[in-house]
Amino acid sequence: MPKFKIMTLVPDWTGSIGAIGTETHFIKGVAELDVVDETAAGRLAYFRSAGYGIEPLDDISIDDAIRRVTMTTVQEYAELERESAELDRAAELDSLRDKVAKKRERQIKVDAETTEIDRSETDPTTGQSLLPPPPDSDRVADWRTYAVKNLGVTDAQARAMSLQELRAEHRRVVDAEGKR
């Protein structure tokens, strides 16, 4: 059952508001209201319309609390069915997202294993490396673009690498080129 903290308009006021038997008792300007029936929902609606401070003590909004206690059983069943269907759809979407993520991970691994670029190409006339010089900046975006275009790193791999890792990959490729 939803519970709300109600604060009076007059700070520290102590007393009761409402009809005998259904009144809300305030102590030092604060009362707690359990919204368990239409009468309590009516009091909550009154407090809101009169400008009282209201804080939910549960994870439910004022409108939802009022709606839930004023629904018929058929309406409540239909609402629960709708919520259940939404939860099922959300679970299906989560499952699909997981499958897509796993498929992407597998594809990245396959790309990494099958993408072997011959980085040792040299200019036949000069004998110098055709590997362009690295970026002359400290921007990670520049180095990622360079790594994807020149070092055989996939876009996903480059996005996962830091600036230091990208520079280390460049050094590794240059060192491997020198050994060939």
Tens digits of per-residue pLDDT, 26-74?
Answer: 999 999 998 888 888 889 999 999 999 999 998 888 888 888 877 767 7
108 and 139 belong to one structural domain: no
Taking the C-alpha atoms of residue 95 and residue 158, their distance in angstroms, rounded to an integer, is 27
Residue 100: predicted pLDDT: 87
123 and 180 belong to one structural domain: yes
Taking the C-alpha atoms of residue 36 and residue 124, their distance in angstroms, rounded to an integer, is 86
Residue 179: predicted pLDDT: 55
For 135, phi then psi, to 5°, come to -60, 145
> Structural domain tally of the chain?
3
105 and 159 belong to one structural domain: no
64 and 100 belong to one structural domain: no
47 and 88 belong to one structural domain: no
- At residue 180 the predicted structure's pLDDT band, cuts being 50, 70 and 90, is very low
Taking the C-alpha atoms of residue 40 and residue 18, their distance in angstroms, rounded to an integer, is 10
- At residue 86 the predicted structure's pLDDT band, cuts being 50, 70 and 90, is very high
Of the candidates 53, 51, 50, 48, the one whose C-alpha atom is nearest the C-alpha of residue 31 is 53
Taking the C-alpha atoms of residue 43 and residue 47, their distance in angstroms, rounded to an integer, is 6
29 and 5 in contact (C-beta within 8 Å)?
A: no
Residue 122: predicted pLDDT: 57
136 and 150 belong to one structural domain: yes
Residue 178: predicted pLDDT: 63
Domain of residue 172: give its range. Answer: 118-180
Angle, CA 165 vertex, CA 160 and CA 168 arms, to 5°: 150
76 and 100 belong to one structural domain: yes
92 and 146 belong to one structural domain: no
**pTM for the structure as a whole:** 0.40
Is residue 127 pLDDT above 70, yes or no? Answer: no
138 and 180 belong to one structural domain: yes
Is residue 164 pLDDT above 50, yes or no? Answer: yes
